[in-house]
């Protein structure tokens, strides 16, 4: 199992709005939907291969979001839990607003 969530750059031990994914394909699908051309762009595009390679060493992966004081953290459930102290769930935005159609 894998977790994806947001972290504040100045508070990296708190995972915000974590989402559980069953496999690397679900991680890639979530990331590709979030980082769509309509909302956010990355210096290097996300591919299934880049997600698989990033997850291969077992350490949490951070993806900074340009222009914002947050990043996305994703990785194996245990690695994320070891790297964070708490999870926070908010209703501040709806993920569907940021996902590609």
Asked whether residue 87 is domain-assigned, the answer is yes
- What's the mean pLDDT when you consider all of the chain? 86
Q: Say if 98 falls within a structural domain.
A: no
Is the pLDDT confidence value at 7 over 70?
yes
- Please give the tally of structural domains in the chain: 1
Domain that holds residue 12: 2-93
In which band, very low, low, confident or very high, does the pLDDT at 89 lie, cut at 50, 70 and 90?
confident
| 99 domain residue, yes or no | no
90, 28 Cβ separation under 8 angstroms: no
Is 25 among the domain residues?
yes
Quick check: 29 pLDDT over 90? Answer: yes
- In this prediction, residues 48-55 reach a mean pLDDT of 94
User: Phi and psi at residue 65, in whole multiples of 5°?
Assistant: -110, 110
CA count, 13 A, side-chain hemisphere, 96? 1
pLDDT band at 33 (very low <50, low <70, confident <90, very high): confident
């Amino acid at each position: 199992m894998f977790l994806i969530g947001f972290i504040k750059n100045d508070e990296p031990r708190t995972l915000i709005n974590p989402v559980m994914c069953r496999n690397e394909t679900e991680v890639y699908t979530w990331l590709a939907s979030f980082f769509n051309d309509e909302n956010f762009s990355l210096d290097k595009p996300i591919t299934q291969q880049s997600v698989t390679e990033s997850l291969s060493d077992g350490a949490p992966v951070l993806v900074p979001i340009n222009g914002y004081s947050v990043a996305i953290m994703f990785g194996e459930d245990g690695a994320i839990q070891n790297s964070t102290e708490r999870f926070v769930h908010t209703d501040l935005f709806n993920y569907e607003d940021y996902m590609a159609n």
